[in-house]
Amino acid sequence: MNQPYPTTQAIQRRGLDWPRLLHLLVLAVCTVWIAGYFFPPINHDTAVLLYIAKVWLGGGKLYVDAIDMNTPLVFVLHLLPEAIASVTGIPGTTVLIALLGLGIGASFLTCRWVLAASLDPAHATADALLPLLLLFLLIVYPNDMFSQREHIMLVLTMPYLLVASGRADGEALSKRLKITTGILAGLGFAMKPYFLGIPLFVELYIASQLTLRRSLADPAPWSVFGVCVAHALFAIIVTPEYFTVALPLAKSFYSEVSQNSILDLVLSANLGPPTAILPLLAIAAFLAMRSNLARVICLAGIGGLLSGYAQGKGWSYHALPAQAFTLLLAGVIIAHVMDHVVWPKRGDNRPAKLFAAALMLLIFYQEGLHSRPFFKQIEYPGSELKRLMHVVKQERRNDYILVLSPGIYPHFPLLNYLNMRMTMRFESMWMVQGAYAGCQELAPLYNPPDAMSAAESFVFRSVAEDFYKKKPSLLVVDNVAGIPRCQGETFDYLDYFSRNPLFAKRFEDYERALELGRFTIYRRREGLK
């Protein structure tokens, strides 16, 4: 004979309410997990964005003194932590994590409030599981991608998606809530044009559920649209160099670096799983259940998946939105099945809390098998970054350094932590990588200066001019150029730029200091002005 689930009085007589305590434990673990991100190193891409924002804040001109392919809004958002850092003296890298923590807290509380207002009181599993899963996705799941643009987008847009499901249900949500979540989501979506498919799919679906008049009167989509238009106008008026400098360089070089075919992306470890699972979950969301929440999250996942494919790289953080939305959709479907099939009329929410906590522990376990938590922080004391920082501290004579490397790690976040400036206006040699991505038969190892494209000539000339003018105390050359061998020869950044007379003249002031891993470090001779 089946034994009934213990009553509340029985639980109280026995002592502790273990389902509730286990649920609170998982919530607490997700919450305190963020403390680990305060330990170095910060994500290297984030370090670049903070560095450029600081240059901009210090009077430099965006896309002139510091050139990057990211949109102006990305740097506007990263101005805030650097502005606070300039006032408080707290490092911008620390301030950014703190601001993200506050943002995640606000996003989580908003989502929880919207869920509580939207869900039927009998939907105990959804009420117990989804807040935990949201917090997990915003704090734990990103791991080394924490603070990436895709991660910031998720933080800003999760409340918008939950409000969107309520709008599709025809709920009487406040205008202030719709406008606020729309503006914040607009900031997230407008950072990258690739993200715009997410609100497009979501808003088209909501429009299909409402009358035309009600759709046009809804302030949420107009809020998202208004932010995107304001961003475009800002770029045109304040940072026109984004169109005249950054985009032409991106067109010339960016697509040539680490570009993968569609088949490679489909089979990749990052985009492959959501590509396989999301369509199956979409069948359940649209055909097997009537849940606007599931459908909105599904459409957001499709937009995130297309974003990953559109960028063509297959990098882990490009796939983060698709992965996160796929996992969230799975949680929504599981909660729906449990609430509507397994225990639709149960008034006691303790089984739901126990189920939600157990499922989250399983997700934690699986994530632990997939990637080591805080592996960069754990390995930091013996890392390449730490060793290079030690050398630079000993050898620096001014605040300038030149690093010729195809990547941005470890000199980012080294420059952030040591408060140094790169002499050149680029963060890495990715543009040179793009110019020499392929080797044609009988092609020279280096293009003659008079045969270079306008974009390559600009890089070749400006790096040399900046090096000559700013006289960095250290020159760091990466011996792994990240460029294919051509005619049996290896590309060398020092040989490449030494063909410029200004670079060659200034390099006479330097002596070889030491080899550190794949880097050769040159110091400027003492006594030189």
Is residue 1's pLDDT more than 50?
A: no
Mean pLDDT within 481-507: 94
Band of the pLDDT at 529, cuts 50, 70, 90? confident
pLDDT digits 0-9 by tens, 400-426: 999 999 999 999 999 999 999 999 999
What is residue 115's predicted lDDT score, i.e. its pLDDT?
83
Q: What is the pLDDT of residues 445-464, one digit of tens each?
A: 999 999 999 999 999 999 99
469-473: average pLDDT: 95
pLDDT at res. 73: 98
**Alpha carbon distance 43, 408 (integer Å):** 11
Tokens of 116: 């509580």
**No. of helices (H) and no. of strands (E), the chain:** 25, 5
Q: Are 292 and 209 in contact (CB under 8 A)?
A: yes
Res. 350: pLDDT tops 60: yes
Considering the chain, what is the average pLDDT of its residues? 91
The pLDDT assigned to 116 comes to 79
Arithmetic mean of pLDDT, 353-366: 88
454-478 average pLDDT score: 96
pLDDT at residue 2 greater than cutoff 90: no
In this prediction, residue 211 carries a pLDDT of 87
pLDDT at 170: 85
Here the tokens at position 372 are 């080591």
Q: Which of 1 and 466 is assigned the larger pLDDT?
A: 466
* Beta bridge partner(s), residue 422: 401
Per residue in 257-283, is it b (16+ CB within 10 Å) or e — as a string? Answer: eeebeeeebeebebbeebbebbeebbe
What pLDDT is stored for residue 164 in this prediction? 95
| Distance of alpha carbon 432 from alpha carbon 441, whole angstroms | 19
Confidence bin at 339 (pLDDT 50/70/90): confident
| Peptide bond preceding 444 in cis form (omega within 30 of 0) | no
For residue 6, is pLDDT > 80? Answer: no
Per-residue pLDDT for 504 more than 50?
A: yes
Whole-structure pTM value: 0.93
Distance between start and end Cα atoms, the chain: 92
**Interhelix angle for 197-209 vs 219-237, to 10°?**
150
What are the Cα distances from residue 159, in Å, to 73, 104, 220, 502? 20, 11, 12, 54
Q: What are the extents of the domains in the chain?
A: 33-376, 383-524
User: 443, 486 in Cβ contact below 8 A?
Assistant: yes
